[in-house]
Amino acid sequence: MTVYGSFPGARPRRLRTTPAMRRMVAETRVHPADLILPAFVREGISEPVAISAMPGVRQHTLETLRKAAVEAVEAGVAGIMLFGVPADEKKDGAGTAGTDPDGILQVALREVRAEVGDDLVIMSDLCLDEYTDHGHCGVLDADGRVDNDATLERYAEMAQVQADAGAHVVGPSGMMDGQVGVIRDALDSIGREDVSVLAYTAKYSSAFYGPFREAVGSSLRGDRKTYQQDPANLRESMRELALDLHEGADMVMVKPAGPYLDVLAKVAEAVDVPVAAYQISGEYAMIEAAAERGWIDRDKAIMESLTGIKRAGANMILTYWATEVARWIGRQGYDVVCD
């Protein structure tokens, strides 16, 4: 036998020999309690509406949303993140429907809270883009630019209305400067010190949000590059992180997840608060589309994508597959699902 020098001197393959061995030495496991289900609820529909770029995901009616929340609880999912889709005629320049106590998101928060109580962590997207007729995440100034500080006033009011409606956690996703601090103050000022802020700390201006825009019926023209981050930047995320923590963020998030695992790893290493990652609509759509064509094994690709996000440092993962994956794990155990 030809031996090249003294190699191999070590044999890592010994720890990969059997499923039982691989299971024993696995460093990362995804658990249902890591998962948060993002869900869309649309005003004025009597049946759920399919989202063509996100096969398997629907715009819920209030009734099917309540059912989805119950199913999430039964599967062991940790939380639900709600997005409201108002009727088109309710959209205006200021995103008024976002602060109307009878706006779709607030109604949904009340109903879901009444349905599942504290069995699920109920989170609300705190952003204006679903409610504005121009589709931006904030209000515009006279020149049509997103007005940071005027937007903060809207966010403060949104936080209070969402807390009143039953959110355990508010998730500001608009990337306005100072949003976490203003929201914290607004909540405290009405005695809602109990409501947490999940800060979208590093939110990049991403092409992978495409299917989401269909999901919320976004009317955005142009882009969000004056407020969301440039994909080229990493150091900038550390600055956003320092600011969010200083302003009182209880948890921080990196979004998207898959293309930004380096950001996630660096954030996770730097903080002593829980870290979330959002596996967004485009990440979902890519796997579903490739699987539909028979190009990849859908279930394995889903588990691998989630395992990678957890391995990079996420404590919580927002994923549209949350309930499905939680069921797989519950039935078979994580390792069987993966092997």
Binding site for ligand PBG (CB under 6 A): 125, 127, 129, 137, 173, 209, 212, 224, 280-281
- For residue 54, the 8-state DSSP code is S
Nearer to ligand PBG, 154 or 224 (CB): 224
Give the residue from 80, 85, 66 showing the smallest Cα distance to 318: 80
Annotated binding residue 240:
yes
The CA distances from residue 244 to 74, 127, 177, 259, 325, in Å, are: 33, 16, 9, 22, 31
Query: Is 203 known to be catalytic?
Result: yes
CB-wise, 61 or 279, nearer to ligand PBG?
279
Query: DSSP string covering 206-242, please?
Result: -GGGHHHHHHTT----S--TTTSBPTT-SHHHHHHHH
Query: Residue 107 burial by CB count (10 A; 0-12/13-18/19+): exposed, middle or buried?
Result: middle
Active site residue 255: yes
- Report the alpha-carbon distance of residue 255 to residue 206 in Å, rounded: 9
Smallest gap from residue 81 Cβ to ligand PBG (A): 8
Residue 75 CA to residue 237 CA, distance in Å, equals 34
239 annotated ligand-binding residue: no
One-letter amino acid at 195 equals V
C-alpha–C-alpha distance, residues 159 and 171, integer Å? 9
Task: Name which of 80 and 338 has its Cβ closer to ligand PBG.
Answer: 80
- Provide the minimum distance between the beta carbon of 334 and ligand PBG in the complex, in angstroms, as a whole number: 24
Does 157 count as an annotated binding residue?
no
In the chain, the N- to C-terminal Cα span, in Å, equals: 34
Q: Which of 90, 91, 203, 310 is labelled catalytic?
A: 203
DSSP class of residue 249? -
* 6 carries a ligand binding annotation: no
Query: Smallest gap, in angstroms, from Cβ of residue 237 to ligand PBG?
Result: 16
Known binding residue 22? Answer is no
Query: Minimal distance in Å, beta carbon 56 to ligand PBG?
Result: 13
Residue placing its CB nearer to ligand PBG in the complex, 212 or 334: 212
Task: State the nearest-atom distance from the C-beta of 64 to ligand PBG, in Å.
Answer: 19
| DSSP one-letter string for 103-165 | SHHHHHHHHHHHHHTTSSEEEEEE-STTTBSS--SS-B-TTS-B-HHHHHHHHHHHHHHHHHH
Complex with ligand PBG: residue 127 or 152, whichever CB lies closer: 127
Q: Which of 90, 91, 255, 266 is catalytic?
A: 255
Residue 159 CB-half CA count within 13 A: 33
**Binding-site residues, please?**
213, 224, 240, 281, 320
* Residues carrying an active site annotation: 203, 255
**Binding-site residues for 5-aminolevulinate, please?**
213, 224, 281, 320
